[in-house]
Structure 1
Amino acid sequence: MRNIKLTIEYDGKRYLGWQRLGDSEKTIQGKIEGVIAQMTGETIEIIGSGRTDAGTHARGQVANFKTASEMTPEEMQSFFNRYLPRDIVIKKVETASERFHARYNAQAKQYSYYVWNSEIPSAFNRNYSFHVPQTLDIEKMTQACEKLIGTHDFIGFSALKKTKKSTTRTVHQVSIQKEGEMLHFVFEGDGFLHKMVRILTGTLIEIGLGKKDSTIIDEVFQSNTRKEAGETVPAHGLFLDEVIY
């Protein structure tokens, strides 16, 4: 049995997220597993580096699966990209070590969130960014980013209820780059809780709008209370850029 590693790009607009559900036709995992069954004749469950929510996109999702197929990586990639929908692309197929595990071996992840910050909406970017027509104070937002860097309990910036699992994560980078009318938020860390990037972005936006002060970040870390943080911004502005091993 070989262990195959996939690097995957997808437009999540039409899908219910990564994880296969009852209706596999509406999930990324389900679509890929369906093509693997065609390709190898095997019923295989692929392992993703993590879930992405409904509507979230990816430039560098990673998954792996075990197969007895003797097809070369190049043949597999060609087959995938021939039979997958056009909004799911296999960017790379590699033979990995037997012990490689897309989720457990991941050391860090990088996400991007895009905000179209203009009074006039964009016809072209509307499915890949969140429109904020009001002026944002980027300097205040950038200063607030510094408070998020480091090791903290991020449960107050997540959609999780109380859990026995650790909600402590280390965030290595949070930055905001202005690219014309587009604001590009970058988050890199050893892991992210459910909806954490979207809630962090929503909090930073409310700071930029003057609805909250940056001290709210300290307060959320102290209280671990979700209701103190900002709103959850829509999924369609979120991209999983890279999984780092």
Structure 2
Amino acid sequence: MTDAPLYSILETRGLTMRFGGVTAVDNVDFRLRDGELRCLLGPNGAGKSTFFKCLTGQLTPSSGTVIFDEQEITGWHTHQIVNLGVGIKTQVPNVFDGISAYENVRLSARRKHIPSVAKDLTHHTMERCGITHLARRDVGLLSHGQRQLVELAMVLAGEPRLILLDEPAAGMTGEERDRLAGLVLEAARSAAVVVVEHDMAFIRQIAKFVTVFNRGAIFREAMIADIMQDREVQEIYLGKQANVA
């Protein structure tokens, strides 16, 4: 008797994205198990961010399919994907300027909960993210790293089954990055997580299994220790970062 195959919460089949004569994502087959934390690596132009945008409805792929929880979502709008239980954090923080950090997080919590429950969830999530002291601050006046943490709190307050993070550590201080690493690992206990990131020091804090992109395709998938020892990955895809991070 063999073990049943592990359930895939996210899958792409033949996913391809072309811009004119340029193929940014090339026939990618990708599977993410339920509850798995996966990091996507690769140099600028490797296709990983375009792949992320196809997953999150920011781009409609030229061909192929995206499947979440056994339902095809290819070409769906971002808000439709979020409503299925997917938390999305883009490269540029997608927050509401002009209102407080607390109100930003509360709006996310209110998607699923009555006001009293949403209030408790908002306070708890902001405490988890270490941004309680920012509660009354206008998000438009916060630093980039602080805005990153507010948006992550918004994602977590939505209690998603799948979390997709595009360069979440960008613009963060070392302390903010360490807090983020802890939050990502904590979130991975209750949700599947995909992290697209350049910061190898951050990747080393969180990664177990890694997918490396190059020229729009998956070049290598392996445990982080094996990726860091892979000379071809180091030289061609991660460059000097792999040796100094």
Pairwise TM-score range, normalised by the shorter structure: under 0.3
Taking structure 2 as the reference length, the TM-score comes to 0.25
Taking structure 1 as the reference length, the TM-score comes to 0.25
Give the number of the structure whose alpha-carbon radius of gyration is greater: 1
